[in-house]
Chain A
Amino acid sequence: MSETSVTVLRDLLKANDEAFARSGHLFGLERLARKEADPGSYEALWHILSNLCNTAWETGCKISSSPIAAEGGDALWGLHLPTGEAICISRGITAHPGLLADMIRSFIELGYEENPGFHPGDIFLNNDPHYGGIHGPDFDMAIPIFHGEEVIAWASSVSHVSDCGAVTPGSIGFLNPDCFSDGLCFSMEKVGENDAFHPWYEMRVRSRTRTPDWVMGDSRGQLAGCITIRDRLLEVIEKYGIDLFRDVSHEFVEDSRRYAVRRVQTQTVPGRVRKSQFKDLAMKGKRVLLGKQDVDCLFNLPMDLEIRGDASVHISLRGASGTVPFGENISPTALRSGLLNGYSHIIGFDMFNSGPAAAWELEMPPDGSWANPFGVDFTASSGVAWAPAVMWMSSLYEVFGRLYQCRGFVEEMAAGAGTTMTAEFAGISQNGVYVAGQTLEQASNGSPARGFADGENSAWCIYTPNADFGNAEITELFYPLLFLGRNIEADSSGYGRFRGGLGHTAVWMVHNTPGIDYQCGCAGMRSKIIANHGMYGAYPAWPDRPSYAHHTDMAERIAQQKPLVHGRGDPLVQDIERLEARDLEVDVIAPFVTPEPLVDHDVIVHPISGAQSMGDPLDRDPEAVREDLERGWTRTRTAREIHGVVFREAEGGEPEVDEEATRKIRAEARASRKLRARPFREWWTDERERVRARENMDPAVLVMWRTSMKLSPGYGEELRAFWQLPEDFEF
């Protein structure tokens, strides 16, 4: 860049911010002049630019090495404005465009225009949460795109590598006590120039990750995709002109913001919805790395959404609790990107870019909270980061679902997505090589119950719409596992008039290895407490509790052709309990790492969540319950006790709904509820006494409330006011 233009982008950034603050329109675009004058070219350019990103996806994924990127789709490519805002993205993991946009913005704010400067062919990388990254394994890459001497855009990419060199193998570092254990760190670094990585980039990857070939393969795929975007974009500019590109690319972002605003305006009602949400991290008494980790933690994730009369949306996340000595802390940048992802699923899916992020005002969690840690605790770890934060995305589904429902758009309602835990393995594969990485089980949960229908089974993933768990036979290529089952798990979605999509349970037998660690990491699953209850009287799903058996009698059972383990079975007496084993752990509270490597014939039962349900389970169509029963997706006991549906044997032995008995027990259930019901004031009075006395509260609960109230004084005041507690009350 020339000497005179070294702060061009910083000045532009400032001007853009001022224009938005002044006009309420991104870049001050009160009119979308190009769109109005030539709507055809406008659409054509959108199509062309989006296709650039998908071309990058095609190229990049084919070159990427790890099953996570190529089979699971945990990667993404994007095109950005010079100041970082995403213009359009490829398919893939949509939790990241916001992060990539903020990373580019940070380059500019950090003065990189001056030092090291931006040059054609430069490659920048970040995976450091302190500077806007999410967690170690997510490598965010960007390259500047020049037209003459001017940066006219950026191409970006993210890929989730299988191992990032953290203190424990793999990519879900929930055990990391601090950032020093998060692994290989690229802090907003220039890692290459002239379209090639610096030699020391690969040297660091080789010396500091456990699966360097996969990591480098992913890096090559990322870069190839970015170069594809750049080269093709320059062809487009040559054809359509730089002015048209410059204008429409800004208009696309503003147009997308307007789309999100218009959806709110036309499909919701003004109002305020508050959603309480909690997630726990039960680690006391488990294998941990440092003494301070022998503790249970509880996260507070309150969400306060207000839509005002002018359709402006205000989301407050104040009240978040304090940091934890594990990898579950998250940077505000990543959180904002995650919420943009959630927003796109319910509000802004038409043109996926940075626009909808400007359609709401976001009050971030307070400094020092687990979701904004570094101002107070600079060494906090973000090894897994998404774990509790995805619950906030799910909350977003629910709060908007309520406001859609108020306007009658039941088709747009969603009860909250299923979120689940990862299965990660580290050890020797069946081919005799070292592997560390995840299976793809967690990438396909149930989708939420809708306002008019059940959710879909194994068809949605909150962090990527590319929800898919791939094929078992492909997983077996990489890990020393033999699938014994991968069926839909009955009753895994909670219970309601419309149930969430069901999850599934993977059952593996360890096979052909001298030993492998099984790490059941967390990415939003339920541990001891139940998060995400469902909407409008639905009952929540049961927690995902894996089980495993170490040193088993599987070999003898196989030889004798006895029944094996192919699913979870009846939750009261599970199938795995039929095994003889030296260590048999049933319904283990995740997250955890097996105390010692698992060996051949060990068995793992790994459940994956269904999504949330909607409405009173007593209102569920009895015929829908019967169909679920026929498909093995519910049990007679559930049908009777929760849905109030009674069956009798029809001709041919098939169960059919006994309508009269069903009516009767449903009436009884409703009457019983009334008997248990109490006036709110009475309940509140009793409960207040318990709160005031801090009665029967686990230390994790006390710490959570204490830190929430301290870090967000306004939230603390509201809490005290609700319970009418003294002004100096603390937990």
Chain B
Amino acid sequence: MPRYLVACDAGGTMTDVIVVDEEGRSVIGKAPTSPADESVGYMESLHEALDSMGLDGHVREFGAAVETAIYTGTSMLNTVINMSGYRTGLLVTRGFEDIIAQGRGSQTFIGAQWSEITHMQYRKHRVPLVPRKLARGVTERIDLFGQVVIPLYEHEVEQGVRELLLDEEVEAIAIVFLQSFTNDVHEQRAAEIARQVMAEVEREVVLELSSEVAPTTREVSRANATVIQAYASDPARKQLFRIEEELRKIGYAHSLKTVLGYGGVTNIRYPRLFEAAMSGPVGGLMGARYLAEVIGEENLVCSDVGGTSFDAGAITAGVLPIDREPGFQGMYVNVPMLGITSIGAGTGTYIRLDPQTQRIKLGPDSAGGTPGPVFMETGNRIPTINDANLLLGVLNEHNYLGGKVHVNKEASYEAFEREISRPLGLDVYQAAETCLELLNVMMREHLVRSLMVGHDLRDYVLLGYGGAGPLHLLGYAGDHPWKAVITVPHAGAFSAWGGACMDYSHRRHRSVQVLLPPELRGADKRAALQPVVTAWRSLESDLLEELQGEGFAREQISLHPSAYIRYYGQLEDVEVASPVRDLGSDAEIDQLLQAFEALYARMYTLAARPAAATFHITEVCVVAQVATVKPVLRAHELAAPEPEPDARKGQRPVFQRGQWQEAEIWRMESLRPGNEIEGLAVVEASNTTLFVPPEWRFRIDAHDIYWLERKDA
């Protein structure tokens, strides 16, 4: 039996599993996500994939042949949403006991629309993971240079830990001191005392230090990250152990891997598991980067349309974007994560009219998979985007979720007529098309104005994926001058496939404060940069220790240092992949600063560089990678442009540009590399639908990638 790789993407609604063989062939299985015990959804989905492969009777042989099994998903997220983590106490710099409960004002509107932000009645802090009752202040202070200004009041540490353990019976303790990322001496000493107290009272609990979990500036986000690690990592890990246990039952012999938010795979025993908290959309971006290599492109915009949201990220010059302070469940966290921005726009997005002005409002909330579109008749009476897709003939009522779900088109019609078209005085189909176009504009604008600020679209290939990506891709591609527009037949499970494309990788950040005024030269300049070099070496040493501890040889590990640089006075910095590993010479320093200036000019073309620039380095980072076996995108022999007869399913009227037009309907599974299709067309698969408007056509290349082009291009 060949060797296999199994990757899973557990979304809020569905769990996708992709099985890839050593030749890069892949099969997808889908099952409802099972938050209470995620192993159920994982295994059900895997069995569906095996069924498709004809291996259902050979499960044990298959299990033994699996080389790597990867989980991407929501186990950590669910722990936070359900508040089912550990009872966590907080030991914090005295005077900051409210740091979790109070947070920051801006946390109350993370992800909100502007009209919601201005409407004050909507303000709401999330329920704190650490209630004030479980916070204990400790007198201490370290300043921004790492100097101890107020020594640690050790008796307060001892008393605080004792109270948390004995009176409050906590299961975990997070230690967060201000500026600890510049000097961790107080946190380390507090941890030492905490361990002594634990030994004394014979109660050991999880202990997390902010200087270890997230040693970067901004105390609120660092505290949140540390608390999430203390609160949710162990409980989430238990879910992952359950999946691993089920896989072991079918003969899988290795440890389960999971995906980190910044794009990389690690063992589920990895200590800083909170870095996997936001791994959901990561697979897509990582798959996209791999795809980019295959097609020889370095700039790619990745767009993922799901039931509830539209996620997008841009890969520039082959570099994945990193957001160092993303929002997560009403908290900012110092957790590096791939820079993915989202809006509430998907196939389940509700369509309503504003009662005051009769304006069309899309979302931002969504019917998702439950209760789902009106046509599913599971309780929702408000029309959704997928109701519009169905009414317009774009979706096949007999093929929804592979034909597994009964669809009542009449229900969609009635809802649209009642809620939208009659009040607007429009025909139902016109109204549905109007709403779809509005959705496309929202998605397009999100890409063009939010994501691509400062970038030229003509340099970028737009990739669409997600279950509904191919359905809406050409709508939001619009007539913008993308270099090219592409999708893949396995778009519905692309994120899971992407999970299989990642290297084994760990990433560590550390804040520094280095100012380089123009008058600083020679030895002084080299001395000023010493903290950067010291931090790089320290992070490299930590990472090597971690990875070697996980069984990798030194020569397998590659190290990639970078620095975050800005012009002094600005608050936004730029991640600069360092072209050098050391800064011991003027030439090396110049190389780093020149790399920054080139990148800055590229990102903010409108901003004049200050006449006499003082450079400000705020943070450094090192990524340690171990290359892993990935699925292969095989090159196939090209077939004729005309698809085989069995690929054609027939014709169906589709409402486009205000009129019904006959669209050619194709079976995706029967299309072959080399085939070419003209719009107006609908290409149907069991887990996705590609819609090709009249002004578009596509061709399939040797790697089974669909290249979509405007006919007038």
Q: Give the interface of A toward B (CB within 8 A).
A: 35-36, 38-44, 47-48, 50-52, 54-55, 58-59, 61-67, 70-71, 91, 94, 213-214, 217, 220-221, 224, 227-228, 232, 239, 255, 258-259, 262-263, 266, 344-346, 349-352, 411-412, 414, 417, 430-431, 443-444, 447-448, 450, 455-461, 465-474, 476-477, 482-488, 501, 504, 507, 509, 511-512, 558, 561, 563-564, 566-567, 630-633
Contacts and interface: CB of A to CB of B under 8 A. Distances in A.
B62 interface: no
Contact of B143 (A224, A461, A511): A511
Nearest to A52: B449
A460 B120 contact: yes
A466 B178 contact: no
Interface residues of B, number: 80
A472 B96 CA distance: 10
A484 B141 contact: yes
Nearest to A501: B123
Interface stretch (B75-83, B148-156, B185-193, B400-408): B148-156
A341 B360 CA distance: 25
A631 B120 contact: no
Contacts of A263: 356
Contacts of A474: 217-218, 571
Interface string B589-608: 00000000000000010111
B608 to A, nearest CB: 6
Interface stretch (B246-254, B297-305, B438-446): B438-446
Interface stretch (B131-139, B660-668, B691-699): B131-139
Contacts of A52: 449
A48 B441 contact: yes
B94 interface: yes
B221 interface: yes
B650 interface: no
Contact of B449 (A54, A431, A632): A54
B125 A457 contact: yes
17 contacts: A39-B358, A39-B359, A41-B437, A47-B442, A63-B607, A224-B607, A349-B115, A459-B108, A465-B117, A469-B104, A469-B105, A482-B141, A486-B95, A487-B97, A564-B150, A631-B131, A632-B98
Contacts of B607: 59, 62-63, 220-221, 224
B118 interface: yes
Interface in B177-235: 178-179, 217-221
Contacts of B106: 466-468
B359 A255 contact: yes
B102 A345 contact: no
B570 A566 contact: no
Contacts of A504: 98, 102
Contacts of B449: 48, 51-52, 54-55, 232
B357 A258 contact: yes
Contact of A472 (B219, B426, B442, B569): B219
Given A217-B569, A458-B102, A631 B217 contact: no
A67 B449 CA distance: 24
A282 B74 CA distance: 56
A58 B450 contact: yes
B515 A431 contact: yes
Contact of A70 (B221, B571, B608): B571
Given A224-B606, A460-B123, A566-B137, A632 B132 contact: yes
B120 A345 contact: yes
Given A40-B360, A266-B356, A430-B144, A450 B121 contact: yes
Contact of A567 (B95, B124, B435, B437): B95
A457 B124 CA distance: 9
B450 A55 contact: yes
Contacts of B217: 471, 473-474
Given A509-B149, A558-B150, 10 more contacts: A39-B359, A51-B450, A58-B453, A63-B606, A227-B606, A259-B354, A345-B119, A467-B108, A474-B571, A501-B123
Interface of B: 94-99, 101-106, 108-109, 114-115, 117-121, 123-125, 131-133, 137, 139, 141, 143-145, 149-151, 153, 155, 178-179, 217-221, 354-360, 424-426, 433-435, 437-438, 441-442, 445-446, 449-450, 453-454, 479, 513, 515, 569-572, 604, 606-608, 610
A507 B95 contact: yes
Contact of B124 (A71, A214, A456, A483): A456
Contacts of A417: 120
B450 A91 contact: no
B599 to A, nearest CB: 13
A349 B143 contact: no
A630 B141 CA distance: 27
B104 A487 contact: no
A37 to B, nearest CB: 10
A473 B121 contact: no
Contacts of B610: 213, 217
Task: Name which of B114, B115, B124, B515 has the most chain A CB atoms within 10 A of its CB.
Answer: B114
A262 B357 contact: yes
Nearest to A455: B123
A55 B453 contact: yes
B101 A488 contact: yes
Nearest to B354: A350
Contact of A459 (B95, B125, B153, B608): B125
Nearest to B96: A486
A461 to B, nearest CB: 7
Contacts of A63: 570, 604, 606-607
A177 B513 CA distance: 41
B434 A40 contact: yes
A65 B178 contact: no
Given A40-B438, A477-B513, A511-B149, A70 B124 contact: no
A459 B106 CA distance: 7
Contact of A54 (B124, B220, B450, B479): B450
A488 B95 CA distance: 9
Nearest to A430: B144
B141 to A, nearest CB: 6
A466 B109 CA distance: 9
A47 B361 CA distance: 11
B98 A483 contact: no
A414 B453 contact: no
Given A213-B569, A631-B132, A561 B118 contact: no
Contacts of A485: 94-96
Contacts of A466: 106, 117
Contacts of B121: 411-412, 414, 450
Contacts of A55: 449-450, 453
Contacts of A255: 357, 359
A39 B178 contact: no
A64 B570 contact: yes
Contacts of A482: 141, 143, 149
A563 B155 CA distance: 12
A228 B437 contact: no
A67 B569 CA distance: 8
A488 B143 contact: no
A58 B245 CA distance: 47
A233 to B, nearest CB: 12
Contact of A465 (B118, B125, B479, B569): B118
A471 B219 contact: yes
Nearest to B128: A631
Contact of B105 (A70, A214, A411, A460): A460
Contacts of A458: 102-105
B119 to A, nearest CB: 5
B621 to A, nearest CB: 18
A84 B170 CA distance: 59
A61 B117 contact: no
Contacts of A566: 94-95, 137, 139
B434 A350 contact: no
B123 A459 contact: yes
B570 A70 contact: yes
A483 B95 contact: yes
Top 8 closest pairs, chain A to chain B, by CB: A485-B95, A40-B434, A566-B95, A70-B571, A467-B105, A65-B569, A468-B106, A44-B441
